[in-house]
Structure 1
C-alpha cells in the first residue's frame, strides 16, 4: 500500500506555522512527513529557512507520524554530528525516523567558506560520510582520514535499531550509484519515463528498500490562481543540475529566474485546480512503484491545501498499491 505524506517546506513557511501544518496534516489523513535541511531559501520571495533538526524534534513529539529529512553531510555538517542527531531522534522516537543523504547544493554549503567541490568529489565525500555514520550508529569508535576527518568518535546514545539511510538522487546515474550503499531511494517528480529509468537503474544495481517520491504541486480554487502561486513561489526552482547545485545565493536564483514563465514552472510542478487531476497524477506515481509519496504544495500557505486534499484527494488514493 502506498503511503501518502506531507512535505514540510522550511524554505517557505515559518517553523511555528509549519508545526501547526504538520499537526493538521495528520488530522487530515496524511500518514507520514518529511522535510529538507537547507540553510537558506531558493528565493527571497520564499523568505524562510528554519533549522530542520530542531523542528523535527517538535514535529515528532506533536504528532504520531514517521518523519524523514534530506541532509548533506560533509561540508556544512561533520558526519559525526549528523550521526549523533540521527541517533538521538531515533532513540527518542523508535521506528519513526529516517534520513536521506545527498551531496548537497552550494546554496547551503558555501557558508563554511570552503571550496565547493566537483560533483565526483562530492560523491566520494558523501560515500565516506555514509560509512562513518553507519559505523557510529553501530556503536563503533571511528577514526577516519580522507575527504572528511574523524578522530576517535563514539556515540553514547544510540537507538536499539539504526534507522534507514536513504539515497537522494535526481539522475539515473546517481540512482544506480546509491544502490551500492543506500537502504532505499528518494527522488522528486519528473516525467514518467525518467522516473521509470531511475527505479530500474536502482533495482538492477541491487538497490534495496523502499522507494520514495517528493511531488511538487500547486492547487488553488481556480487555475489562474494556482498558476500565479506556483510561479510566484517556485520559479527559482526549475533549473536542472548543475545550475541548481552551483548557484550560491537566493539573489542568484532570483536573477536566473527572471525570464521563467508560468508554463516553465508547470513543467516541474503539477499545477491545477482540478482535484481529480491531482489524484490521477499521484496515482500514476504509485503505479510506477513508489512506496511513499510526499506532497509538497509550493504555496506559502498550507491549511487549505491540507484540508481539501485530506477531504477530496487522499480518499481517492486509498487502496492504490505500489509495485515494489
Structure 2
C-alpha cells in the first residue's frame, strides 16, 4: 500500500525520501541522520522501530538538529504510551506525533492523526475522513467506553469492491461482513476514548481470553517495552484444560538470559501494572519472533503452531522457519 501512498504524495509537490535496508544499520540513529542530511519534514516509521531506538537509548533531541522535522507518523502496530513519551522526550518536543491504523486492504486509515487536535499518549487522535468508525460489543451495540470490535458502519471511499477470483464475493463477504451483516469488521480489538480518540489493543482474532476475560496483546507488549532485558516478544493464548492460558515467548536482549528469577520479575511487573489475568502462565525463551513481510508480529501463526494447526498463510511470513522453535515445546505440555 505504501507504493500507492508514495505516488499520491508526489501529487502534492513534495519530495519523497526512501530508505532501503535495515533502519538500524549501521546504527539505530540512521534514520535521524537522514532527517538532518535530507531536510525531512515528515518521518514515517513503525512503532517497532521507535521501541528499538528507545531500548538503544538513542536521543536525537541531543545528538541531532532535526530542524526540518514537523511530523512523525507511526504505524504497523499499536504505539504504546511509552512510545509517545519517548518521541516527545528523546526525539523532538514540538513535532506532531500521529499513530495511524488502517490496512493494506483499504489502502487507507480508519484512524489517524490531525494536526489541529491535541495528542494524548497511547491514542490515535481521530477517525479518518469518510470513515464511520465505531467500537461494538458482541451483540452489535456501539460502545462509548470499553473494548470491542472496530467496525465501519457505512460504505467508505476506500472500500475494496471484492477479491480476485471470487466472482460471487463469497470470500470477500466472509472476510469482512460475516460477523455483523452489512457492517465492515476490520479485525482490530479497540476502544473509543473520552477524547474522541481510539486505542488499538491488537488483532481481535489474536486476543487472549483467560477465564472469559478478553485481553489485548498490546496491553502486555506495552509493559514489556519498559524492560530493556527483553528485545522482542510474542504473546498468545493456548487452549488448556477447558480454558485459555496466556503464553509469552520472549527474545532476550544481548547479555541477558531468561532465568527463573527474571520470569518472576516479568510476572510481578505485569501483575502490578495490569491485572492478575494478564500474567502469563508460561514464559519461554526463543531466538526470534515470527513476523509478516511488513514486519507485524504473527501471533495467529504462533497460536496455530501451538495448537498443531496448519498455518493459514505461511507465505506471508518473513521468517516462517522460526516457527520450528515454537512447535511441540515440552514446557507447554503441563
Asked which structure has the greater RCO (Cα within 8 Å, sep 6+), the reply is 1
TM-score, normalising length: structure 1: 0.30
The structure with the greater share of residues assigned to strand is 2
- Name the TM-score, length of structure 2 as normaliser: 0.29
Which structure would you say has the larger Rg? 2
- Greater helix percent: which structure? 1
